[in-house]
Structure 1
Amino acid sequence: MAWDNKELHEKFEPLLRCLEEGSSVALLTMRGSCCPVTRAHCDMFQLARSVLLGQSLLCPPGTPPFSECLGLLALNPDRSIKRKFERRSESENPIRWFDRAHLIRLATAEVPWLVLNNLEAKEAVQELEEDTRWQHLKFVHFHLNGADDVARWEKWKHASASQRYITIGRREWTEKVLEGAREYGVLDTPHFHVTAELPDISATAVRTALRCQDRDALDRMLHPSVAAWCLRNRIYSSTPAVEKAQLR
């Protein structure tokens, strides 16, 4: 199958055509399983966007403050999620890619600056940079990650002027990232920044809530349209409600 980002370009076009010549645009890219996409995924983009639009210190030297910030959310392939489920001895099958993509569209339908990305981050950024309509704009790419992922892979070691990171704080992991980035000399530079922590929303807890159809828990963790689709299609809903008490 040939992948393209037509949907992404169509969604971003109204925002980009309003910008003046020489404007800087931050591009946030993230890849995840999103099985299913939760409020936390979208909140990560929202928090990073607010940081980038409010802190000129994160603009590369010689770059004006960001006039816009766009979010590109990509999905891990089905095979990698299946392996993850098998390692964790989870009995269910993961939600397939096309359905996870549909759920991202539902969760971001009312967010004009956040969209599903079908390409690798580098390719998606390159497409925007090479689009003749946006030659008057300057795009600056940031990799968006949770602190747990950054700590496991010590991603601060890869931070540079051409490889920028925004790390979302996460309980029990934030301090590890701060220590590592500080020792490596990249903390709070234009190419590595750590934000405040966000409330944890565990994908495992979401799947448990879906299995026992705990609507109160789902309201806290999922966009209403995502929750409704999952319930309607009985995603992970075959287990008795005995697990409901574990969510509280």
Structure 2
Amino acid sequence: DERLGLVQMAIDEHTWLASEAREGETVELLVKSHPHLSIVHFTLNGADDVLRYRKWCWSGPMFRMITMGRCGDTEAVVARACRDGADLDAGHFIMGPQMPDISSSAARSALAREDIAAAALLLHPEVLLWCREHKVWQASTEPLRRDERLKHTNRPSGTPQQPC
């Protein structure tokens, strides 16, 4: 996935952050190298995605999740998760804080409209530069097809996350 390369580009300046080609691969390494520790893996999702797919239903002792709040979705996630019987105090499905309203859809739309000022408010400067140089989103309302976008990427592709 070309997004993995863009994520890496955005976090390069932070030496304490890293990305994985396959979700959880670092956990496997930590478990093997530190067998005396109890390592617990959590996935991180935005409330909009969790709400869309009712991901609280996926959570449990073997699949723990932290959901970051998104404007307009946080309260709905909490209400629907509780209605469906999710225990927000069990440590399997954790509601994180409300995050600033940053939208990848808004970033793509700004790039398509060539509204660089709006895109700059949403994207890391290096990511913005890369998107502009590679014309990943052309001046239209629709982004390029996935196969066309891949022609423009010069970073290794990652593996998309697979739920449960």
TM over 0.5: yes
Aligned to 1:151: 51
CA displacement at 1:201 relative to structure 2: 2.5
Which residue in 2 is equivalent to 1:118? 21
Which runs of no fewer than 5 residues in structure 1 stay unpaired? 1-96, 241-248
1:130-164 deviation per Cα after TM superposition (whole angstroms, max 9, x unaligned) = 1x3x3454322111111122223222223222221
**In the superposition, relative to structure 1, how do residues 120 and 105 fare at CA in structure 2: closer, same or farther (>3 Å)?**
closer
Read off the aligned partner of 1:202 and give its amino acid letter: S
| Cα offset, 1:185, TM superposition | 4.4
Q: What residue identity is the alignment partner of 1:160?
A: G
1:201-216 to 2 correspondences below 5 Å: 201-216=102-117
Provide, for residues 68-114 of structure 1, a one-character-per-residue CA deviation record: whole Å limited to 9, x for no partner.
Answer: xxxxxxxxxxxxxxxxxxxxxxxxxxxxx3x4332122101022333
2:7 match = 104
Letter in 2 for 1:110: E
Which letter does structure 2 place at the counterpart of 1:190? G
Q: Please give the alpha-carbon distance, in whole angstroms, between the structure 2 residues aligned to 1:161 and 1:175.
A: 24
- Cα distance between partner residues in 1 of 2:121 and 2:112: 16
* Equivalent runs, 1:143-182 vs 2, <5 Å: 143-182=43-82
CA distance in 2, matches of 1:153, 1:212: 30
RMSD in angstroms over aligned alpha carbons? 2.4
CA distance in structure 1 between the aligned counterparts of 2:86 and 2:103, rounded to whole angstroms: 31
CA contact (8 A) 2:56 2:86 kept: no
Structure 2: how far apart are the matches of 1:220 and 1:136? 44
Q: Which residue of 1 aligns with 2:155?
A: none
CA distance in 2, matches of 1:166, 1:207: 26
For the pair shown, the structure with the greater C-alpha radius of gyration is 1
Supply the AA of the counterpart residue of 1:107.
Answer: A
Quote the sequence identity (%): 39
Q: Is 1:129 aligned to 2:47, yes or no?
A: no
| 177-186 or 138-147: bigger deviation | 177-186
Aligned length: 140
One-letter identity of the residue aligned with 1:127: L
Unmatched 5+ residue regions in structure 2?
142-164
Mapped partners of 1:204, 1:155: distance in 2? 21
Q: TM-score, normalised by structure 1?
A: 0.50
Instruction: Give the letter for the 2:90 counterpart.
Output: T
**Runs of 4+ with >4 A deviation:** none
Structure 2 match to 1:140: 40
- The alignment's TM-score, normalised by the length of structure 2, stands at 0.71
CA deviation string 1:175-223 (max 9, x = no partner): 2221233341411332221122223323232122212332211221000
